[in-house]
Amino acid sequence: MQRIVVLAGGIGGARFLRGLKSAAPDADITVIGNTGDDIHLFGLKVCPDLDTVMYTLGGGIDEEKGWGRDGESFAVKEELAAYGVGPQWFGLGDRDFATHIVRTQMMGAGYPLSAVTEALCARWQPGVRLLPMTDDRVETHVLIDTADLAGSDGAEEQGRKAVHFQEYWVRLRASVDAHAVVPVGADTAKPAPGVLEAIAEADVVLFPPSNPVVSVGTILAVPGIREAIAEAGVPVVGLSPIVGDAPVRGMADKVLAAVGVETSAAAVARHYGSGLLDGWLVDETDAGAVAGVEEAGIRCRAVPLMMTDAEATARMAREALRMAEEVRA
Ligand code: GDP
Ligand code: CA
């Protein structure tokens, strides 16, 4: 049985995983999920990327939005707002709230996030083993100019301040420049139980079209994970989240700029580097980037990379596995 390890963020990772499951129905898939986006709201621990993977693979996702529960209502949020209790900018629905209540309750009882995630997955049956990258608290912060907030926020003092990733992404919609992206706590975090073992036992490691900075980059920032992948001696193949020099959805260009990486499929491949990446798939639109990526020592091919439907996504997964075979040969 083929053992596949996937480093996943939220929507891009989750949708790709759905394609991978149909492309390789008999494979044993372990997902290492990003927890740098986690946030405490209303006293509850919210793990947006883990939940997006769990709901998407478990059949509970809001397909249109790509995150949150299907058939959602927002009565709790409205009641909280009536008390003047926010934030209003983060959309937690009633059904979703239950997940966060269960998670927070279990963590309060002393269970680590990995055990809680396993318990939540017992309901959702995602068909993969979903592991948080770490059980330790890691929180991605984004450094912005306070002057950029004037008007929107009333801030007048000049200088820089760090805001939580969700505040940057959801509240500010990445409308101001990011000067740095810091996964606070990552430097002392330990990989969650099973993470290093899964990598060591993998036949192939895949980077789905997830955000290279705040999703895959954050997972790689946990000491030991990057090293384990590089040392596993198995093909590592990625799929570009950048198509035609722009993110397919979202604002990845803003956080790529913060780490000095151009928004292009080739620049993201070079950012991961040939020390980590063996193969890289770019969209057909970016066929012109193939030669440059290969010059950097990374096998590269242009194929359709738009996850428009289940079959298109499964084809992407098959291409990634095919490239892994070529690397191995
Ligand atoms: P997030 O945590 O919800 O932001 O999700 P991820 O980090 O997993 O993925 C976000 C990335 O997925 C974005 O940078 C998008 O450009 C990329 N993405 C979304 N849909 C597609 C698609 O259909 N094709 C490709 N190639 N990338 C996509
Ligand atoms: Ca995310």
Write down the pLDDT at residue 323: 98
Write down the pLDDT at residue 99: 98
User: In terms of C-beta density within 10 A (0-12 exposed, 13-18 middle, 19 or more buried), how is residue 79 classed?
Assistant: exposed
Distance 23 CA to ligand 1 centre (A): 19
What are the structure tokens assigned to 172, written together?
């500010």
What are the structure tokens assigned to 33, written together?
């999920």
Report how far residue 18's alpha carbon sits from residue 252's, in angstroms, rounded to the nearest whole number.
22
Report how far residue 74's alpha carbon sits from residue 156's, in angstroms, rounded to the nearest whole number.
34
For residues 158 and 268, state if they share a domain.
no
Which residues touch 62 (CB under 8 Å, ≥6 apart)?
68, 69, 70, 72
For residues 198 and 308, state if they share a domain.
yes
Write down the pLDDT at residue 153: 55
For residues 176 and 247, state if they share a domain.
no
Is 81 part of any domain? no
Is 207 part of any domain? yes
Q: Of the residues 63, 166, 170, 248, which should be mutated to test ligand 1's pocket, given the most ligand atoms within 8 Å of the CB?
A: 248
Write down the pLDDT at residue 158: 75
The gap from C-alpha 54 to its chain's centroid, in whole angstroms, comes to 13
- For 27: left if phi > 0, alpha if psi spans -120 to 50, otherwise beta; the answer is beta
Which residues touch 209 (CB under 8 Å, ≥6 apart)?
12, 13, 16, 239, 240, 241, 248, 305, 307
For residues 238 and 313, state if they share a domain.
yes
Pairing of strands 160-164, 139-145: antiparallel
Nearest atom in ligand 1 to 283's CA: 26
Is 210 part of any domain? yes
Nearest atom in ligand 1 to 66's CA: 3
Domain count, the chain: 2
Is 46 part of any domain? yes
Report how far residue 134's alpha carbon sits from residue 140's, in angstroms, rounded to the nearest whole number.
14
Dump the DSSP string for 132-163: ESBSS--EEEEEEEGGGGTTTT---S-SEEEE
Write down the pLDDT at residue 76: 97
Distance 157 CA to ligand 2 centre (A): 30
Write down the pLDDT at residue 148: 84
Is 213 part of any domain? yes
Report how far residue 159's alpha carbon sits from residue 182's, in angstroms, rounded to the nearest whole number.
17
Q: Locate tokens 């059904």: which residue?
A: 95
Report how far residue 146's alpha carbon sits from residue 157's, in angstroms, rounded to the nearest whole number.
7
For residues 194 and 56, state if they share a domain.
yes
Write down the pLDDT at residue 103: 98
Angle at the Cα of 213 (from 273 to 151), degrees rounded to 5?
145
For residues 204 and 223, state if they share a domain.
yes
For residues 164 and 295, state if they share a domain.
no
Q: Sign of dihedral through CA atoms 111, 206, 198, 218?
A: negative
Say which amino acid occupies 254.
K
Residue length, the chain? 329
Distance 12 CA to ligand 1 centre (A): 4
Q: Which of 186, 221, 255 is the last residue of a domain?
A: 186
C-beta of 248 in contact with ligand 1 (< 6 A): yes
Distance 16 CA to ligand 2 centre (A): 14
Angle at the Cα of 26 (from 24 to 32), degrees rounded to 5?
70
- The SS3 assignment for 236 reads strand
Q: Of the residues 35, 37, 215, 263, which should be mutated to test ligand 1's pocket, given the most ligand atoms within 8 Å of the CB?
A: 215
Nearest atom in ligand 1 to 215's CA: 7
Is 80 part of any domain? no
For residues 264 and 203, state if they share a domain.
yes
Q: Of the residues 11, 133, 170, 284, which should be mutated to test ligand 1's pocket, given the most ligand atoms within 8 Å of the CB?
A: 11
HEC string of 39-103 equals EEECCEEECHHHHHHHHHHHCCECCCCCCCECCCCCHHHHHHHHCCCCCCCCCCCHHHHHHHHHH
For residues 225 and 310, state if they share a domain.
yes
What are the structure tokens assigned to 197, written together?
């073992």
pLDDT under 70: residue ranges of the chain: 150-157
- CATH number reported for the structural domain that contains residue 13 in this entry: 3.40.50.10680
Is 144 part of any domain? yes
Is 153 part of any domain? yes
Taking ligand 2, which is a single-atom ion, which protein residues have CB atoms under 5 Å away? 9-10, 37, 49
Look up the domain containing 19 and give its range.
3-60+126-134+189-328
Nearest atom in ligand 1 to 13's CA: 8
Write down the pLDDT at residue 325: 98
For residues 144 and 259, state if they share a domain.
no
For residues 170 and 218, state if they share a domain.
no
For residues 144 and 260, state if they share a domain.
no
Q: Is 153 annotated as a binding residue?
A: no
